[in-house]
Structure 1
Amino acid sequence: MLEGRRIVLVEDDEIMGASLVQRLELEGAEVHWHRHILRALPAIRTPRKPVDAVICDIRLPDGTGEDLYETLTRTGHPPPFLFITGQGSIDQAVRLIRSGALDYIAKPFDIGQFLTRLTQVMQPRADQEMPPETGISDAARAVDRQVSDAAGRASPVLLRGGPGLGKLRLARRIHDHSDRRAAPAIILDALAGPVENETLARAIVDVGEGSLIIVGIGRLPSDCQDLLLARLRERDFRLIATAGLRLEEKGADHFRSDLQSLLTSHEIVIPALAERPEDAVWLAARLFPAMNARRASPLTGIAASAEETIRAHEWPGNGRELRARLLRAVEAAVGDLVLTSDLFPERAGDAGLRSLAEVRDAAERSQIAAALERTGGQVGEAAKLLRVSRTTLWEKMQKLGL
């Protein structure tokens, strides 16, 4: 019934939790059991693989299931939730259903009924098994879904985002997964230099019923824009374009409003890596094995402290910058692990001078640790001392690795 499904169980009762884990694993599920919200939050928000469902008790030692669910909805779309509740918390469970959680079941319950309800809340498997291409964050998964949807359409599509976000790779992916994949995909790079009318006309003829990929379409001169729009009305080719955050990029005299409307009505925006810190760590882990294989003496991996630095860095060059820094770090590393100093050697000379973000994080980490020590690890009491909400404190603790 649950073969291959990945489920997060949030339950503090040892007997109930152990019983559910045993039965779910007998049904073929992979179960990750957490007894506190603090541990469950990262397991749901930044999982290594997609989560099919969350089974969550309403009452937990460090808060409520409602707190956990609302925290997740602030930054994305949580997996399907099935809440377990006692009779006294049914009103709360009903309120959660109205907020987007899919179902609840009251204690005591029949295990057969429980399994049926769990199966009903989960999405069809095909939707959950799409391998990540852009990242593991909600924003990245949304981009991957849009790319998959675009591959099934014939309309022009525009991929927008800053430099180094893999727009050309995604453009090729759209073509490779479309019905036109047997036809050619021709790339014109307007960022590499001016595109002439004759070059564009020849590419449109050569592409036939395939895909014409124009990199930096905002830099097309006016005569090329006129020709492109005219040919789109006459010929059966697919236009896949890329552009920066602003369609009218430096170098274009004018961008036709009708061509812009055609493109932006089918656009996919790729968020910057700075907005997706978990994707920066995921990308580094994905790139590392191939880089490491080139070494005469392979490394063990990337140090946890270096991963935290990757997560905290703003990456103005996005994935391109991360790839360049990681390649240099893997080549230069002298120990068993890639260290922060390997990734950011320029910081070694300024060891006594940290960025404002690092100073702020260090100060917050110190204050939170002191508050937790004073309250004996009680998150709610620590939040009161620090004059923040319990949810805010959870998120900061997760970010700072506490």
Structure 2
Amino acid sequence: MSDSSPSPHKVLIIEDDEIMRLSLEDALRMDGIPVLTAASAMEGRRVLGRNAVDLVITDIRLPDGTGADLFHEVSAAYPGLPVMVMTAFGSVPQAVELVKAGAVDYLTKPFDVGAFLEAVRRVLNTRREQRSGMTAHGAADSLGRSTAMRSVKHYVDRVAPLDSSVLITGESGVGKEVVANQIHQGSARAGKAFIKVNCAAIPLNLVESELFGHEKGAFTGADRRRVGRFEQANGGTIFLDEIAEIPPEVQVKLLRVIQERVLERVGGNDSITLDVRILAATQVDLEKAIMQGTFRSDLYWRLNVIRIDIPPLRRRPDDIPLLARRFGDGFAASMGKRVSGFSPDAESMLIEWPFPGNVRELKNLVERAVALCDGQRIEVHDLFPEAVPQPDPRGYASLREAVEAAEQEAIRNSLARCGGAVGLAAEALNISRKSLWEKMRRYGIDRQSETSR
């Protein structure tokens, strides 16, 4: 086996024919591609366990197994790691089946070295683009691929070219700023300013000055003219995050700016004409805020021309593995760590996690996991170090058993409190009715028996 200096784009060749193995290794090295080699499936597994690679190239026939078996092992243990198979003419049908199952390509021996290098470069370039988030699906992947988020992305694509105001709603951390960015980038204003304002972070006495600017001497401490955020966004887009936090007295002036597209700086008399698209976001129920008298109804209707609701992460668990892997690859690259993917147990735990902080919480969790990880894959203890049970936690054999026991207890308690009503219990647990039924079936929980507890 041979090694090379660390590289984010390393190739592993598993080939028992020494002449072929050395020939391919030399070709890759001459092309500037770092390479590792192995002469058997067992040796290949050992190399994979010790090194981060971006492409596995394996012969379909090996002395201690088959490339097909190795492909399935790699796919399960290292999700997303591309595998290319090499085959003699007689094994082409098997290679085709592997490609259908997820292998990136197959090469029929004997093959031209130039064609081999071209195929490798193509896979590595795709891998590089995936890591930098620049694939054709990059924008969609930044939101997720679940049915719910594909619908959001479709809606974003439809409204982006328009100039109408958009109100983006959803819980904290669901990705409202990401949606705002995509709307701006998909509009005719994409090359112009995109000004983001966190309305909750501005001191109440400075909100008006921050948004609309002020003239010199407008108030104590105003020793020079200041251009406000709306003026900075002129010709482009302004994104008002946490719009519900704007105080009522400033809401009146904001309404006029939206209606008339003119503003006056604080302490000034000149009217400044604006050409700006307005995007706003909130995690607050604005209709309830209107009823409570904290938000103006006329401002709400000016902002709510087009509305995009982003569902919380717990309602779209299919997005969790995709987003986690994307965050993991990004953090691994920025930290210079050889970490790729999650163990099956770690991925299962992520899918089961409720994520009250949504995508922001997931991103922070993965960043910590990459920082703590001392292996090739992220494990459960990297994600949840504080949750790993101590030697005597009630006799549970594993973290999974402890989690399942806690989940069963929560379901039983909720059913008891709700008189066995599955719908009410699901709502109390913040999961879907279908999910609760499935968990009850898995754990053998009878709703009738729980009402007598």
Aligned to 2:347: 307
Q: In 2 relative to 1, CA 188–336 (structure 1 residues): closer, same or farther, beyond 3 Å?
A: closer
Q: Is the 8 A contact 1:303 1:338 kept in 2?
A: yes
Paired residues for 1:171-186 under 5 Å:
171-186=180-195
Aligned to 1:289: 329
Q: Is the 8 A contact 1:200 1:224 kept in 2?
A: no
Q: Is the 8 A contact 2:345 2:380 kept in 1?
A: yes
Aligned to 2:272: none
Q: Is the 8 A contact 1:218 1:248 kept in 2?
A: no
What residue identity is the alignment partner of 1:259?
A: L
Q: In 2 relative to 1, CA 206–289 (structure 1 residues): closer, same or farther, beyond 3 Å?
A: closer
- Alpha-carbon displacement from aligned partner over 1:246-277 (angstroms, at most 9, x marks no partner): 23799x97211011123334111111001111
In the TM superposition, what is the alpha-carbon distance from 1:130 to its structure 2 partner?
7.6
Paired residues for 1:305-344 under 5 Å:
305-344=345-384
Q: Is the 8 A contact 2:238 2:279 kept in 1?
A: yes
Aligned to 2:157: 148
Aligned to 1:258: 298
Match among 274, 280, 304 for residue 241 of structure 1: 280
Paired residues for 1:134-283 under 5 Å:
134-193=143-202, 194=204, 195-201=206-212, 202-235=228-261, 236-247=275-286, 254-283=294-323
In the TM superposition, what is the alpha-carbon distance from 1:206 to its structure 2 partner?
3.1
In the TM superposition, what is the alpha-carbon distance from 1:188 to its structure 2 partner?
1.8
Distance across 1 between alignment mates of 2:374 and 2:238: 45
What residue identity is the alignment partner of 1:225?
A: Q
What residue identity is the alignment partner of 2:145?
A: I
What residue identity is the alignment partner of 2:328?
A: F
Q: Is the 8 A contact 2:313 2:355 kept in 1?
A: yes
**SS across alignment from 2:314:** helix
Q: What do you get for the CA RMSD once the two structures are aligned?
A: 3.3
Q: Is the 8 A contact 2:161 2:188 kept in 1?
A: yes
Q: In 2 relative to 1, CA 300–266 (structure 1 residues): closer, same or farther, beyond 3 Å?
A: closer
Distance across 2 between alignment mates of 1:237 and 1:294: 35
- Alpha-carbon displacement from aligned partner over 1:277-316 (angstroms, at most 9, x marks no partner): 1111110011111212245551242101111111111001
Number of residue pairs the alignment of both structures matches? 243
Aligned to 1:133: 142
Unpaired stretches in structure 1, ≥5 consecutive residues: 1-47, 49-127, 364-391
Q: Is the 8 A contact 2:139 2:182 kept in 1?
A: no
Q: Is the 8 A contact 1:217 1:247 kept in 2?
A: no
In the TM superposition, what is the alpha-carbon distance from 1:357 to its structure 2 partner?
7.2
What residue identity is the alignment partner of 2:251?
A: Q
Q: Is the 8 A contact 1:158 1:263 kept in 2?
A: yes
Aligned to 1:347: 387
**SS across alignment from 1:168:** helix
Distance across 1 between alignment mates of 2:211 and 2:337: 48
Q: In 2 relative to 1, CA 309–132 (structure 1 residues): closer, same or farther, beyond 3 Å?
A: same
Distance across 2 between alignment mates of 1:248 and 1:192: 22
In the TM superposition, what is the alpha-carbon distance from 1:230 to its structure 2 partner?
0.8
Identity %: 29
In the TM superposition, what is the alpha-carbon distance from 1:358 to its structure 2 partner?
5.8
What residue identity is the alignment partner of 2:294?
A: H
Distance across 2 between alignment mates of 1:357 and 1:180: 53
Q: Is the 8 A contact 1:218 1:247 kept in 2?
A: yes
What residue identity is the alignment partner of 1:258?
A: D
Distance across 1 between alignment mates of 2:381 and 2:196: 38
What residue identity is the alignment partner of 2:156?
A: V
In the TM superposition, what is the alpha-carbon distance from 1:215 to its structure 2 partner?
0.9
Q: In 2 relative to 1, CA 198–142 (structure 1 residues): closer, same or farther, beyond 3 Å?
A: same
Bigger CA radius of gyration: 2
What residue identity is the alignment partner of 2:188?
A: D
Q: Is the 8 A contact 1:219 1:249 kept in 2?
A: no
**SS across alignment from 1:153:** coil
In the TM superposition, what is the alpha-carbon distance from 1:169 to its structure 2 partner?
2.1
Q: Is the 8 A contact 1:187 1:212 kept in 2?
A: yes
- Alpha-carbon displacement from aligned partner over 1:164-203 (angstroms, at most 9, x marks no partner): 1221122122112111223322222112123522322232
**SS across alignment from 2:192:** coil
Q: Is the 8 A contact 2:341 2:377 kept in 1?
A: yes
What residue identity is the alignment partner of 2:346?
A: A
TM-score (norm 2): 0.48
What residue identity is the alignment partner of 2:249?
A: D
Distance across 2 between alignment mates of 1:325 and 1:249: 33
Distance across 1 between alignment mates of 2:157 and 2:177: 15
Q: In 2 relative to 1, CA 220–249 (structure 1 residues): closer, same or farther, beyond 3 Å?
A: farther
Q: Is the 8 A contact 1:186 1:213 kept in 2?
A: yes
What residue identity is the alignment partner of 2:367?
A: L
What residue identity is the alignment partner of 2:194?
A: A
Q: In 2 relative to 1, CA 297–199 (structure 1 residues): closer, same or farther, beyond 3 Å?
A: closer
Distance across 2 between alignment mates of 1:165 and 1:347: 24
Q: In 2 relative to 1, CA 204–344 (structure 1 residues): closer, same or farther, beyond 3 Å?
A: same
Q: Is the 8 A contact 1:219 1:248 kept in 2?
A: no
